[in-house]
């Protein structure tokens, strides 16, 4: 989970001063000690709802 305080404009949404979090998962496939594939998925909908002040 990544978090912080919304202090700057994000995708046109003005700063709110709210604490926001982005949850997600990342998966890497390792071959010979090196990452050869990487996948990530994040819950951007909930993150943007928090920026906008939507109730969840």
Q: What is the pTM of this model?
A: 0.63
Measured CA to CA in angstroms, residue 16 lies from 27, 44, 47, 56 at distances of 32, 17, 13, 17
User: Taking a C-beta distance cutoff of 8 angstroms, is the pair 52, 13 a contact?
Assistant: yes
- Convert the pLDDT of each residue in 1-56 to its tens digit: 889 999 999 999 999 999 999 999 999 999 999 999 999 999 999 999 998 887 55
Q: What is the reported pLDDT for 55?
A: 57
């Amino acid at each position: 989970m990544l978090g912080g305080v919304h202090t700057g404009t994000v995708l046109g949404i003005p700063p709110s001063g709210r604490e926001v979090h982005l949850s997600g998962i990342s998966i890497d496939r390792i071959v010979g000690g090196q990452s050869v594939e990487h996948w990530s998925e994040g819950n951007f909908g909930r993150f943007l709802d928090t920026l906008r002040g939507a109730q969840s």
